[in-house]
Amino acid sequence: MKKWKRRLKKILLTFVALVFAVSFLLPTILTIANSFMSEGEINTNYGVIFNQFKEPEYGERNTDYVSETVNLKFIPDMVDFSQYSTVLLKSPEYLLKFWNSVILTVPIVIFQILIALGAAYSFTRFRGRIRELIFFLYVALMLMPFQVTLVPNYLVADWLHILDTRWSILLPGFFAPFSVYLLTKFMRRIPTSLIEAAQLDGANEWQIFTRICIPLCKGAIASVAILVFIDYWNMVEQPLIMLSDADKHPLSVFLSQINSGEVGLAFAVATIYMVPTILIFLYGEEYLVEGISYSGSVKG
């Protein structure tokens, strides 16, 4: 009797988890599945939604059969790579925007972490009231929403005459406080005895920093890099405000502008844009989870 009850509970819980999982995965799977459909099939399935936004072109679209209702389809009638070939071969603008994303995100990840490592080391090794106060400043700034921090960033970019250049996004990104906060939390877990032992052996600060703290923080650096990458890879607010020249916009912003016209294309571009983050998930999920776990409180 009891065994039966336990089994029922297990089945029920698994069912609940499945329901959650399906609803969480649905948009991702839909995006990928739709990217393998031809423009005609997309039009048949979603025409009723997206056609209302656009003028019929050359009359050709009108001849297509458009379903009266929306069809959600997870398996394309015919796997079709035409969207991908359009993106990759025929329209260099998408690749250009992809490249824009890369040259905005990668330097930010690298330099933010390099600068933050020093700060985190300082917060770990030398404690005191003033230092804790400064750390509090970092945390408070980190928690501020974009609407607050973007105004100062914009002012400085204006002073430096770097508005409308990539530097207006890169430079504030280098100094963003998030990495400092998380790396400090990781570094403070390093046993002090380890550092003291090194000191007794005659290691100087630089050696302790580069030979002990950084190697011990490798996992942490991976975690932070992943979180920072995901954040900046999806940036929307900064380019909208800093870059009025749409040619310099990253794909994350540009994606929204192809929505209404070529829906099928948008799905393919979105899928391509997801590739780096999917790779991160496949190879670095443990680091990602660890990074999130460590961000679980505001104190160092």
Partner 1 sequence: MSKQPVTEDGIAYKKPKKSKKDRRNAALYLSPSLLGLLFFFIVPFFVIIFYAVVDNPVNREFVFLDNFISIIQNSSFQQAVKNTITFSLVAVPLAVILSLVMAMLLEQNIPMRSQFRTFFLSPMMVPVASIVLIWQVLFDYHGVINEFIQKLNMAPIDWFKSDYSQIVVVVLFLWKNLGYNMILFMAALNAIPRDILEVATLESATEFQKFWYIKLRYLSSTILFVAILSLINSFKVFRELYLLAGDYPYKSLYMLQHFMNNTFHSLDYQKLSAAAILMAIVMCIVIGILFFVEDHFGKDVEEA
Position 209 contacts partner 1 (CB under 8 A)? yes
**Torsion angle, alpha carbons of 112, 142, 120, 154, to 10:** 40
Binding part of the chain for partner 1, among 55-63, 81-89, 129-137, 214-222 by CB under 8 A, reads 129-137
27 binds partner 1 (CB under 8 A): yes
CA distances from 101 to 125, 163, 261 (A): 36, 17, 22
The answer for residues whose C-beta is within 8 angstroms of residue 40's C-beta and 6 or more apart is 64
The smaller minimum CB distance to partner 1, of residues 37 and 58, is found at 37
210 binds partner 1 (CB under 8 A): no
Nearer to partner 1 by C-beta: 58 or 117? 117
On whether the CB atoms of residues 138 and 254 are closer than 8 A, the answer is: no
If binding is defined by CB under 8 A, does position 134 make contact with partner 1? yes
Shortest distance, position 150 Cβ to partner 1, whole Å: 8
Q: Among 90, 259, 261, 283, indicate the residue that binds partner 1 (CB under 8 A).
A: 259
Selected binder of partner 1 within 69, 78, 133, 215 (CB under 8 A) = 69
Residues numbered 89 to 128 that lie near partner 1 (CB under 8 A) are 115-116, 118-119, 121-123, 125-128
147 binds partner 1 (CB under 8 A): yes
Asked whether position 36 contacts partner 1 by CB under 8 A, the answer is: no
Q: Applying CB under 8 A, which of residues 8, 56, 70, 261 lies at the interface with partner 1? A: 70
**In this structure, how many other beta carbons lie within 10 angstroms of the beta carbon of residue 269?**
25
Question: Which one of residues 24, 78, 89, 202 is an interface residue with partner 1 (CB under 8 A)?
Answer: 24
Closest CB 151 distance from partner 1, rounded Å: 4
CB contact at 8 A, 268 and 35: yes
Question: In sequence order, what DSSP letters do the residues of 235-269 get, joined into one string?
Answer: --HHHHHH---GGG--HHHHHHHTTTT-HHHHHHH
Q: Which residue has the tokens 């009891």?
A: 2
Residue of 87, 224, 228, 241 that binds partner 1 (CB under 8 A):
241
Q: Mark 176-206 as b/e (b = at least 16 C-beta within 10 Å).
A: bbbbbbbbbbbbeebeeeebeebeeeebeee
Q: Which residue do the tokens 């393998």 mark?
A: 36
Minimal distance in Å, beta carbon 274 to partner 1?
6
Distance in angstroms (rounded) separating the CA atoms of residues 60 and 45: 17
Question: Which one, 13 or 58, has the nearer CB to partner 1?
Answer: 13
Tell me how far apart the alpha carbons of residues 162 and 115 are, in angstroms, rounded to a whole number.
21
The residue range among 54-62, 69-77, 84-92, 217-225 that interacts with partner 1, by the rule CB under 8 A, is 69-77
> Rounded CA gap, 119 and 114, in Å?
9
Q: Which stretch binds partner 1 (CB under 8 A): 54-62, 81-89, 91-99, 131-139?
A: 131-139
